[in-house]
């Protein structure tokens, strides 16, 4: 069950410490994180939640500056929480705190507009610094995933600029892995002609002449990881 601590909805950010909500289904993890953050006098944990539904409810009650959210939750994911708060409570900056550094999760976190992505293995002082950074409006990215975070952002920018659809990006990634059109079709449950049609659109959007150029483009721009 979600917990609300002292100093809830009425506090004003610039008149007190940075207000943090912890979301993790493991109580021991929440306790440890709270103890680390509250070794400082400019951060206070104002609430805790064990799943996504509780997270949204507690966030509504305490209006935290930062929500530190686990990527894996019993009723969904931290990505779902980020999307929900982006609609309901835009002032709260969601930072993912995860045991996983999977490229697909990094990309999904970016798509959800999170303020940061941290690994649970990061040193205590780095965690404190990252939460402070998120609170003042900066991105909080764990150095261990920073390069791949940038790669994922570049690939998203390239795909967005070319107006590539999700299906087109899936096909590009599979072609970059060396799959034939028929293998791509089988993998995605599409017809051979449908895959050919998608590839023709991709070539036109990117101004490429064929598969070799597409593979080179995908590898250079970080589009070679399947979605």
Query: How far apart, in whole angstroms, are the C-alpha atoms of residue 120 and residue 145?
Result: 12
Per cent of the chain over pLDDT 70 is 89
Query: How far apart, in whole angstroms, are the C-alpha atoms of residue 75 and residue 139?
Result: 27
197: CB partners within 8 A, 6+ apart: none
| pLDDT given for residue 15 in this prediction | 62
| pLDDT given for residue 50 in this prediction | 95
Residue 20 has pLDDT above 80, yes or no: yes
Residue 9's pLDDT band, with cuts at 50, 70 and 90, is: very low
Residue 11's pLDDT band, with cuts at 50, 70 and 90, is: very low
| pLDDT given for residue 64 in this prediction | 96
**Looking at residues 165-190, what average pLDDT do you find?**
92
164/225: higher pLDDT: 164
What order do you get walking across the sheet with 66-70 strand by strand? 3-4, 43-49, 18-23, 66-70, 93-98, 116-119, 140-141
**Looking at residues 154-171, what average pLDDT do you find?**
79
Determine which helix (DSSP H) or strand (DSSP E) holds 197, and give its type and residue range: helix 192-206
Beta 93-98 vs 66-70: how paired, if at all?
A: parallel
Pick the CATH number of 3-143 from 3.40.50.300, 3.40.50.80, 3.40.640.10, 3.40.50.2300: 3.40.50.2300
Residue 190 has pLDDT above 90, yes or no: yes
Residue 10's pLDDT band, with cuts at 50, 70 and 90, is: very low
Residue 108's pLDDT band, with cuts at 50, 70 and 90, is: confident
- 30: number of Cβ within 10 Å: 20
Per cent of the chain over pLDDT 90 is 63
Q: Collapsing DSSP states into helix, strand and coil, what is residue 137?
A: coil
Query: How far apart, in whole angstroms, are the C-alpha atoms of residue 30 and residue 73?
Result: 13
Query: How far apart, in whole angstroms, are the C-alpha atoms of residue 109 and residue 113?
Result: 6
Residue 160 has pLDDT above 80, yes or no: no
What Å distances lie between residue 18 and 22, 40, 92, 129, 149, CA to CA? 13, 10, 11, 12, 25
> What CATH number has the domain spanning 162-220?
1.10.10.10
99: CB partners within 8 A, 6+ apart: 71, 72, 119, 120, 121
Residue 187 has pLDDT above 80, yes or no: yes
| pLDDT given for residue 159 in this prediction | 66
Nearest to 114 by CA among 172, 66, 165, 159: 66
Q: Where are the domains of the chain?
A: 3-143, 162-220
pTM of the model: 0.68
Domains 3-143 and 162-220 share a fold: no
């Amino acid at each position: 069950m979600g917990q609300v601590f002292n100093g809830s909805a009425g506090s004003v950010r610039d008149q007190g410490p940075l207000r943090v909500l912890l979301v993790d289904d493991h109580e021991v993890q929440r306790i440890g994180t709270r103890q680390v953050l509250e070794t400082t006098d400019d951060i206070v944990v104002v609430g805790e939640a064990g799943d996504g539904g509780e997270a949204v409810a507690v966030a509504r009650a305490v209006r935290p500056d930062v929500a530190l959210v686990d990527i894996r939750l019993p009723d969904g994911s931290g990505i779902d929480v980020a999307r929900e708060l982006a609609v309901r409570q835009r002032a709260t900056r969601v930072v993912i705190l995860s045991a996983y550094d999977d490229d697909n999760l990094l990309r999904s976190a970016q798509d959800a507009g999170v303020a940061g992505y941290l690994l649970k293995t990061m040193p205590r002082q780095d965690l404190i610094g990252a939460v402070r950074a998120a609170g003042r409006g900066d991105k909080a990215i764990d150095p261990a995933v920073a390069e791949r975070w940038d790669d994922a952002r570049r690939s998203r920018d390239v795909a967005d600029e070319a107006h590539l659809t999700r299906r087109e990006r899936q096909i590009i990634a599979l072609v970059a892995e060396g799959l034939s059109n028929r293998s791509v079709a089988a993998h995605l449950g599409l017809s051979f002609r449908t895959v050919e049609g998608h590839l023709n659109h991709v070539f036109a959007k990117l101004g490429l002449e064929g598969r070799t150029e597409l593979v080179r483009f995908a590898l250079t721009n970080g589009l070679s990881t399947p979605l």
